Structure 1
Amino acid sequence: MTEADIAVIGGSGFYSFLEDAEERHVPTPYGDPSGPVALGTVAGRRVAFLPRHGAHHAFPPHRINYRANAWALRSLGVRQVLAPCAVGSLTPDLGPGTVVVPDQLVDRTHGRAATFVETGACHVPFADPYCPRVSDAVLQASPDATRGGTMVVVEGPRFSTRAESQHYAAQGWSLVNMTGHPEAVLAREMQQCYAAVALVTDLDAGLESGSGVSQDEVFALFAANLERLRGMLADAIATLPDPDGCTCATWADGIELTYEVP
């Protein structure tokens, strides 16, 4: 039975979303997810909420069980995912407090379990990593959000050096983050429509003088924008389109998957 159609995966400082929520402990073949999944209703839609770092930020970016999180949400029936996250800006045009809905991703992580495929031939298309339908719904609900941009995902938990930050900016990339991969590709393998909703919390080290980015700065900026972000997500949920027929799911038509989609 479908318990939720839509999921919100909360980032740093975003540990709750739903009122009067029920909690589900969801075991998975990949171990435990980041915590219990909260279930509730937003704008008449059934929504699941999972803080990717755990309720008390127990899991740093490189220790999150991304596969368990993705599998748990799909097992509850989730087909569309909104993924708010904290990001650093690689361009002065995107200052702190800007919300960006990126359209491209670059993976610079290493050592993470980044796929459900463990045997056989099963290659997921990922040229466009984010669902255009879900992204459009977020942008229509949030007129002040910025459309498009490339988010480079680094391993963490450390912040970038100035040289790294300047290198990323020189490639034309606009945002830097620590959790967007493998979360996005695992959602695609689970045949879910997925969009990142990136809140700029700082100018990355290559754009700043002084001591560079600090954790306190990032968390404080995210906290100051949390209610705004919650409102944007609720407005987007109210207008999300029917996922039937979206290429995020139909890519697997005619392919014999070598892993289970619950």
Structure 2
Amino acid sequence: MSNSDDSQKRGTGPAIVLVEPQLGENIGMVARAMANFGLTDLRLVNPRDGWPNEKARAAASRADHVIDAVRLFETVEAAIADLNFVLATTARPRDSFKPVRGPEEASADLRARAAAEQGTGILFGRERWGLNNEEVGLADEIVTFPVDPSFASLNIAQAVLLMSYAWQVAGAAGNTAPRFSAPEAPPATKDDLFRLFHHLEASLDRAGYFFPEAKREVLTQNLRTMLTKANFSEPEIHTLRGVIKAFDYEARRLGDARQETSEDEGA
């Protein structure tokens, strides 16, 4: 459903990904907040009222370049597939072992990744109840805002404005990067990571790992959290998939050998 197959231009600001936004006015105010701080990559996952949306354009207050460049996606996975590193915003604690950052620390890290030409993005949830646990699970880290815990609610445009401002401030800080660093392998995209998820889970399914069935969701989420935290490079992902293929091949070979032995004994 994406209206563009172009990947994020490396070295630019993070993609802002709105998951199932409800009101066109909110999308427009998000676009305006992004434009205030030089961000342009706005991605929408299943906007409730469809797209294009004239109410969004009106609320954007002449941030037409952001509105015109909006890309649509059917799933969060598709919206972040070309990215290397993704933050999930949330106002409440999660049953997750992912690192949790404030906006300043998170934005400084995003700046460093942009300088390394990595594609980055920030997930923002629905106006009424935010992101679900599975969506948070697709991100590398969590970012939350130091608001009053007795009233932690932010609307989606406010949340985007805070992160956009933190991104801008992080760019104004002095350059404290080391004079040189060791070469790094290219980081894996989320699409690479999702393929690893599906490959590993299919292999474990055949091996009977997800037992009893009632524990499948918890086991799957635990695996995905561990794999996401590892921050694999592209070559590492390919190596792991090669390892899984080798195990699958050996399991099939042993299974065929046992079957032949059983048939010979029954003859």
Q: TM-score range by the shorter chain?
A: 0.3 to 0.5
**Relative contact order, higher structure (CA 8 A, sep 6+):** 1
Q: Normalization by structure 2: what TM-score?
A: 0.32
Structure having the higher helix fraction is: 2
Structure having the higher strand fraction is: 1
Q: Normalization by structure 1: what TM-score?
A: 0.32
